[in-house]
Structure 1
């Protein structure tokens, strides 16, 4: 049976295939040899949006241009003002998201160019767009996507690398070094899974009892925190929030409860000291404060150390593994059947999927 656990464990093979076949998968992007865009706008919702936020800063750093993430429904209905100097990317992993399909159709109708990322080349969104990019992962047969989220981050990172190389914003040497780093992360995935499983097992009872979980990240791991909110809400079906570090510190902390379960996503980045100050404050009010570290760190045995030293902006490629695994394992223990839709009438009534 293919479930969330199966797809989490498939990530290493899929990463390897995507990296190996990147030139073929991204041939439409590579053919834009003379396109020097001044900005990128990514349209996505749900886990696709979380993945876009996880890749956003890496893309911006490599291309030295701003990268924005926008909701497709808001853009299509209220502020679709196309700019020839902006690269538009629309993401729908399954290819059936109504709002994203509608957006692609509207951009095409207005004569704009948009690159569509999907795992299903026969899906409605693939047919709606002129330029479709295969995510290179096959079709994920689960509504609660894990593999698709991760593959999307990798593909967006590779799009930035290919464009940066074509536009001579990075050298061939730098390009090869970045590819080698992606391969290093890929090789580390089984260890990240093993470490995550041990941590979840050690904290299983308290995770089962959690009533409200906050995921707090910064930089690229903001996307990981958002994905934590999405997956815990969808699978465990308790209250969950994914907050950017400063966002949490400017309001939400006032509503904290001593029963909150708080998980920091720490990539060892620019704001690590800032995150430590927030933890110092929270320790006086909340018992369950845990940190998922990309490499090592922290004095508490309650923290998860994933043991990989890599660039801050690449950490979402493996730091979401414990988040996805705990969502799967806790929901399974609680008897929540993820193979069956909780509300089968939803799409029929709302037409959110085509």
Structure 2
């Protein structure tokens, strides 16, 4: 059997997300109807996925969400007193910090839910309810399909909470499902456009010294996952910022070595993003954009899709997954070769 690659999993995303949506049970659940104040425990790409889905979850389910890094929370954190639900997210199910934090809360009256791709994993043993990400086991460490599956599963859980609270009727449920189906149907087109964009910018990306992505709203999560993927694979200094946060200091390090990615969707914040891009263009090596809108500018990857902002991370993350893989490959990095092979065993970051 051939060894799976990061690219293989990217190419499986459309089929996997279609299956997740088709299989999902949206029936009412009285336990979920009590969800109002939620703490999510996640780290790494799982954290980024939760950040990408947070605004959609809060709007659809009418809840307030706090996302915590589990290690810090376990040692220094304090649960908001009104918290009624804890959600632990670990794709592998082996994240030691998330498992430890969930265990610490095991005897409370708070509803506990776990999202994982492995229902037999250690984290599945420490919660009342286990939600299978329903995308199989991703054997490549640089997760892509699992990231997108986590974003979608959180959105679907939010819809189920809305149904359970009687805030989403059959008509609205049908509309939401149709919108998600349309978004997912565009994934292959986004992959094709991303490949063409990479080929037009291969030398720039291959030789880039520092990569920075800026996003707003739900695509703050997209920018943070860009940071994770580029750091893991391209192995050059890479960072993702919330748009406004970048303006409060980080811009001062900008120089000719920097490649800036602006992640844009139609929004009240888009004009501010565009103004910053215009300003920074004089001070950095290259400004690139990834947008859901159409564009003929060679430095803009225009996906040309109609998508609500709260669901846009499902599509906007894919170019960065693809660009990370192809840039690393162009640089001659063999992503199938493990490095720091004893890291997890020595530092005990995973069980």
**Shorter-chain TM band:** over 0.9
3-state SS, counterpart of residue 136 of structure 2: coil
Q: Residues of 2 paired with 1:285 and 1:219: CA distance?
A: 25
Conserved 8 A contact 1:36-1:85: no
Conserved 8 A contact 1:72-1:103: yes
3-state SS, counterpart of residue 34 of structure 2: coil
Render the CA deviation track for 1:16-69: whole Å, top value 9, x for unaligned: 11111110xx77xx4335733322221100000000000000111112332221
- Hey, what does 1:121 align to over in structure 2? 119
3-state SS, counterpart of residue 35 of structure 1: helix
Runs of 4+ in 1 over 6 A off after TM superposition: none
**Which of 238, 241, 245 in structure 1 is aligned with 2:239?**
241
- Hey, what does 1:102 align to over in structure 2? 100
Q: Residues of 2 paired with 1:111 and 1:260: CA distance?
A: 49
Render the CA deviation track for 1:123-147: whole Å, top value 9, x for unaligned: 1111222211100000001111000
Q: Residues of 1 paired with 2:63 and 2:342: CA distance?
A: 43
Render the CA deviation track for 1:86-117: whole Å, top value 9, x for unaligned: 22111000111000011111111345321000
| More divergent stretch after superposition (299-308 vs 2-11) | 299-308
Conserved 8 A contact 1:82-1:112: no
- Hey, what does 1:198 align to over in structure 2? 196
Deviation for aligned residue 1:342:
1.1
In the superposition, the TM-score normalised over structure 2's length comes to: 0.95
Asked whether 1:353 is paired with 2:334, we answer no
The gaps in structure 1 that reach 5 residues or longer are none
Conserved 8 A contact 2:39-2:83: no
Q: Residues of 2 paired with 1:65 and 1:81: CA distance?
A: 16
| More divergent stretch after superposition (150-159 vs 104-113) | 104-113
3-state SS, counterpart of residue 143 of structure 2: coil
Render the CA deviation track for 1:332-354: whole Å, top value 9, x for unaligned: 22222222321012111110000
Q: Residues of 2 paired with 1:296 and 1:67: CA distance?
A: 33
Asked whether 1:3 is paired with 2:1, we answer no
In the superposition, the TM-score normalised over structure 1's length comes to: 0.95
Aligned Cα RMSD in Å? 1.6
Q: Residues of 2 paired with 1:89 and 1:34: CA distance?
A: 12
3-state SS, counterpart of residue 106 of structure 2: helix
